[in-house]
Amino acid sequence: MARYVIDLACAVKIVDAGFQIASKHEILAPTLLRSQVLDHLYLRTLSGELTEADALSMHAHFGKLKFRYLGDAVLRRRAWTIARQLGMPSTFEAEYIALTQLQGEALVAEDKRLASVANKVVSVKSFEALD
């Protein structure tokens, strides 16, 4: 079973497509992903791109996906170190890289900027790896 960490852009793609993750994969994510997805959908309702009903339905689908969320002190400390090491402006994205280092085989990143930075220290794959 492959253990992949997914970034926010990948999660959004999953939500938008109603995508189901193949059972041969274990998906890991930092706990902050839940709030980021909720915020992303909320902002799309504010812009008029989604109705509130659609956004809440998409969020409900996302909440039913079997992801393993992690966010302990070790992960947060590693994220801090990675953010400093790579000159990142925030520790949020560094949590995805840290989790990949600690428990994942690769980071599945749709965010090209994050993928470019992460590729310096972890294996990075595209969305197609989740098939």
Summarize the confidence of residues 13-39 as an average pLDDT: 94
Between strands 25-30 and 124-125, the pairing is: unpaired
Q: What domains can be seen in the chain, in order of their start residue?
A: 2-130 (3.40.50.1010)
Is the pLDDT at 20 greater than 90? The verdict is: no
Residue 131 pLDDT? 86
pLDDT digits (tens, 9 = 90+) for 74-106: 999 999 999 999 999 999 999 999 999 999 999
Q: CB count, 10 Å around CB of 60?
A: 9
Q: What is the pLDDT of residue 54?
A: 97
Residue 12's CB is within 10 A of a number of other CB atoms, namely 20
pTM: 0.94
Question: For 122, which DSSP code?
Answer: S
